[in-house]
Amino acid sequence: MDTSKIIKGVVNSGRYTVTAPIVKEDYGLYLQIEGVELPSTYEVDFSNDEHHGTSVTMIGNSDGVLIPSQFISSGKDVFAFLYHVGANYGRTVYKFRIPNKCRPDRTDDTPTPEEQSVIDQAISALNDAV
Structure confidence by residue, pLDDT tens digits, 31-89: 999 988 888 899 999 999 999 989 999 999 989 999 999 999 999 999 999 987 667 76
**Residues 1, 129, 101, 106, CA torsion sign:** negative
The residue count for the chain: 130
Q: Would the pTM of this model clear 0.85, i.e. be above it? A: no
Question: Which pLDDT does position 86 carry in this prediction?
Answer: 66
Helix (H, G, I), strand (E, B) or coil at 84: strand
Check: CB of residue 92 under 8 Å from CB of residue 81: yes
The residues with which 104 forms a beta bridge, in sequence order, are none
**Which of 21-25, 64-68, 108-112 ranks highest by mean pLDDT?**
64-68
pLDDT at 103 over 80: no
The residues with which 43 forms a beta bridge, in sequence order, are 59, 83
